[in-house]
A = this chain, B = another copy of it.
């Protein structure tokens, strides 16, 4: 598929891991466990990405995307999230079923396809997990004030805005408990959730309108 599914996968891993931590430098071991390969394989691939001008490699310290590499990674994220949106909104898949399929679809190489798909879906701003969809030029729509549920200090009512990387099983379990994008959670409900979910659920506080009047 096009230039190489593997290169694209390494590029995406570099992007995803760089975003999820303070420094954009990512270790080869991190990438290896994320991609399910061994560290030496990552080293080799990172060196290829460096030759292509898509990443920098500081031996023994890690790798980081170049601006070019970042653009490419964003276009992959864009494709992935547009396909997920298609699978859920149009084909009726559950949000826990679409990741692996989108993983394959995102490697299809056709600019026209992505742009037509985007238009067909009505230029969606977020995917079925609530994550923002990068635009064709690599910019995002602002994400609003969301925070990880684990960091909600005084437990207050909040609305689920997005779910970060969860296994299919986790996503199914959430669905089963009635958690979806837009769900409102009360402090009591939050305390009853499995601890692991607190790091995955992104929420924003809702105003308690004292609805018992």
Contact = CB atoms under 8 A, between A and B. Distances in A.
Contacts of A104: 1, 107-110
Contact of A116 (B91, B105, B117): B91
Task: Report copies per complex.
Answer: 2
Given A1-B1, A1-B5, A93 B112 contact: yes
A101 B108 contact: yes
B109 A97 contact: no
A6 to B, nearest CB: 12
B110 A91 contact: no
Contacts of A107: 1, 104
Contacts of A105: 105, 108
Interface string A116-159: 11001000000000000000000000000000000000000000
Contacts of A91: 113, 116-117, 120
A101 B100 CA distance: 20
A90 interface: yes
A159 B64 CA distance: 59
A107 to B, nearest CB: 8
A92 interface: yes
Contacts of A1: 1, 5, 104, 107
A84 to B, nearest CB: 12
Given A101-B110, A105-B108, 11 more contacts: A1-B5, A1-B104, A1-B107, A87-B113, A91-B116, A91-B120, A92-B116, A93-B112, A100-B110, A101-B113, A104-B107
Shortest Cβ-Cβ A-B pairs, 8 listed: A91-B116, A104-B108, A101-B110, A101-B113, A91-B120, A105-B108, A1-B104, A90-B120
Interface of A: 1, 5, 87, 90-93, 97, 100-101, 104-105, 107-110, 112-113, 116-117, 120
18 contacts: A1-B1, A1-B104, A87-B113, A90-B120, A91-B113, A91-B116, A92-B116, A93-B112, A93-B116, A97-B112, A100-B110, A101-B108, A101-B113, A104-B109, A104-B110, A105-B105, A105-B108, A108-B108
